[in-house]
Amino acid sequence: MLTRAQIRNKVRNKPWVTPFDKIIAVCDEKNKLIQIYEDHAHSKCYGAAAWSAYHYKRTSRLVVDAWRDGPRDIFMLKIGKGKLKLVPSFSSGGIEQAEISGNECRITYAGLAGAGVGVTMCRGLAKGVKGVEIIEEGGGNKLGKAILILPKMVKIHIGIDDTDRSDAGATWSLANEIGVKVAEKKCIEYINHTLVQLFPMAPNKTKNCVATVLTFAVQPDKKETLIKSVSKLLKRETLSRDTGIAVFEGIKIPNQLTKFADKVRSKLISVEDTLKFADKYSIELIEITGEAGLVGAAGALGYAERHEEAVKLP
């Protein structure tokens, strides 16, 4: 296995190797899924991100879904192995194996020519990568193949609501600052921020009635550290007596949670009904300064992965 430092030394005289910025893997062993977040070279390489999202989904049967978000690619993978049939131009790169081994994710990439360089050297230089096992180095018209070794992490969504008051504050921006601050801790990555429009006719809203979801990748033994850190910062910085958070762990948002979110966006839901729902579907609710914010926080979770829909009026 080569470390990032060893790869950096190996490519010192190869100007065609451009390093990916960061790669993160989150795992859901219960549903046999791995989700990969790849921030492409210097967080500027939109074209390569578009290329990978398009081709990997077509080429690899393990890739359930793939999409681009700016220079970032997000791949949803089935755990398993699938042989690739690589053809220049038509299907020149993909993922042929995704597995979890102890506290690591091992993703086998393969590609022809430039795609082969990307799967070995470029990805191997990314922050978040523990190491790379290079099977074939690639470049020119050669095959490149490598196993990328990443820390196993889990995906945690934290819904936040009711942190402001009529004369000051903003939940979306306070939440974002907290996400950035928490991610300074080792083994925690802040990967997503979602604004969720709630029921606009709610009588007790501050003004716009919008909640926020922060999504993190965290090593499994640091989950409680994450939740406690977010709670502590919120309690210190909130301006409201009704701040609450809701926590859900998982790669895929279940249908029941989406349906509950639709209710919270379309009508008034009581705290009591929210508590019952959370207990039934393993959602952790935490009062930071009060219970009223729990409703919007739990409802917002259902739109954690649906950014464009989340901001629309119901």
**Which has more pLDDT, 112 or 219?**
219
Are 303 and 168 in the same domain? yes
Q: Which of 125, 151, 177 is the last residue of a domain?
A: 151
Are 170 and 266 in the same domain? yes
Structure tokens at 118: 């990307």
Q: Which of 96, 116, 151 is the last residue of a domain?
A: 151
Are 27 and 139 in the same domain? yes
pLDDT digits (tens, 9 = 90+) for 74-121: 999 999 999 888 887 778 889 999 999 999 999 999 888 656 666 778
Are 89 and 188 in the same domain? no
Are 109 and 139 in the same domain? yes
Domain that holds residue 41: 4-151
* Cα gap 69→210, rounded to integer Å: 23
pLDDT surpassing 50 at residue 33: yes
Are 278 and 138 in the same domain? no
Are 266 and 291 in the same domain? yes
pLDDT digits (tens, 9 = 90+) for 49-81: 999 999 999 999 999 999 999 999 999 999 999
Residue 305 belongs to a domain with what CATH number? 3.30.70.2200
Are 146 and 85 in the same domain? yes
pLDDT surpassing 90 at residue 224: yes
- What is the 3-class SS of 53-121, one letter each residue? HHHHHHHCCCEEEEEEECCEEEEEEECEECCCCCECCCECEEEEEEEEECCEEEEEEEEECHHHHHHHH
Q: Which of 99, 116, 151 is the last residue of a domain?
A: 151
Are 98 and 24 in the same domain? yes
User: What pLDDT shows up at residue 185?
Assistant: 86
Residue 142's alpha-carbon distances to 11, 83, 93, 110, 230, in angstroms, are: 17, 18, 12, 11, 48
Are 168 and 84 in the same domain? no
Are 147 and 185 in the same domain? no
User: What pLDDT shows up at residue 164?
Assistant: 77
Confidence band, pLDDT 50/70/90 cuts, at residue 138: low
